Amino acid sequence: MGDPVGHSLSPVIHNAGFAAIGLEAIYEAVQIPSGAFASVVSDLRSGRFHGVNVTMPHKDDAYEAVDGRDDLATRSRSVNTVIVSRGHLHGYNTDVAGVRYAMDLLELPDDLPILVLGYGGAARAAVVAMSQRVVYLSGRNERRAADLAGSFEGSPTVVPWGTGVDGAIVVNATPLGMRGERLPEPTLVHAAGVLDMAYGAEPTPMVSWARASGVPHADGIDMLTGQAFSAFELFTGLPAPRDVMALAARSQ
């Protein structure tokens, strides 16, 4: 559920997983305009949907709409997966698992600092996922970045937009790159690695830069796949067929 969702690989990933375990289920992408999340809540409570993944711009609405939340959703103050049971809506945040999965793919030391770009639900998930590290935060709206930083215990350090942090892993939690937008060069020039949550039909400029520069990188498809494993297990109660789902994510 989101807007836009036409580019989403989630249906391909989940339907491949359902087929692999012989489960009769269908995962569809449904476009829900901003401000219309109440219709999703109604469809969940009526039994039309057994569960949903939620993406931009509805994660905050989902957080407010559910009847209960898991610890990661509470800490990140963002819900991206909703499961319905007997009319009760429970919210989860599997983006945190997605960030951790993608970061593991970089195979970099686990004591490097993290620079998170953004201040929305994806940025909150990244800060929670990396809470054991030194975290820096940067956003185009510095006040909103500061507000996000202040909402966490041991507040991340806010740095001005366009500023890099030497030796940090840069996590792009903004939409920049989905349509070819470039991040400010100083943000990346001294990065030890990058994770770009944005993805599209072609590699984002951030990922293209990392490839050309020989910098370890993971992309939004890696993160999407990692969070899909957790969501799949919440939806089904069964272990995710990870190899099948990861292959499906890269087959398009």
Q: Are residues 245 and 179 in the same domain?
A: no
CATH of the domain at 77: 3.40.50.10860
Q: Is residue 100 part of a domain?
A: no
Q: Are residues 229 and 203 in the same domain?
A: no
Q: Are residues 168 and 228 in the same domain?
A: no
Q: What is the pLDDT along the chain (252 residues), one digit of tens a residue?
A: 999 888 889 999 999 999 999 999 999 999 999 999 999 999 999 999 999 999 888 888 999 999 999 999 999 998 999 999 888 999 999 999 999 999 999 999 999 999 999 998 889 999 999 999 999 999 999 999 999 999 998 889 999 999 999 999 999 999 899 888 999 999 999 999 999 998 878 899 999 999 999 999 999 999 999 999 999 999 999 999 999 999 999 997
Q: Are residues 90 and 124 in the same domain?
A: no
Q: Are residues 206 and 118 in the same domain?
A: yes
pLDDT of residue 42: 94
CA distance 22 to 102: 27
Q: Is residue 57 part of a domain?
A: yes
Provide CB contacts within 8 A for 46, sequence distance 6+.
Answer: none
Q: Are residues 85 and 151 in the same domain?
A: no
Structural domain count, the chain: 2
Q: Which of 59, 75, 100, 124 is catalytic?
A: 59
Q: Are residues 117 and 163 in the same domain?
A: yes
CA distance 252 to 244: 13
Q: Is residue 4 part of a domain?
A: no
Q: Is residue 210 part of a domain?
A: yes
Is 59 one of the annotated active-site residues of the chain? yes
pLDDT of residue 6: 84
Q: Are residues 211 and 112 in the same domain?
A: yes
pLDDT of residue 120: 87
Q: Is the distance from CB of 178 to CB of 204 less than 8 angstroms?
A: yes
Q: Are residues 210 and 125 in the same domain?
A: yes
Domain carrying residue 170 = 108-215
Q: Is residue 244 part of a domain?
A: yes
Does the reported pTM lie above 0.85? yes
CATH of the domain at 154: 3.40.50.720
Q: Is residue 103 part of a domain?
A: no
Q: Are residues 208 and 228 in the same domain?
A: no
CA-wise closest residue to 122 among 67, 182, 78, 188? 78
Q: Is residue 86 part of a domain?
A: yes
Q: Are residues 211 and 233 in the same domain?
A: no
pLDDT of residue 179: 86
pLDDT of residue 154: 82
Q: Is residue 69 part of a domain?
A: yes
Q: Are residues 204 and 119 in the same domain?
A: yes
Strands 51-53 and 81-85: antiparallel
pLDDT of residue 237: 96
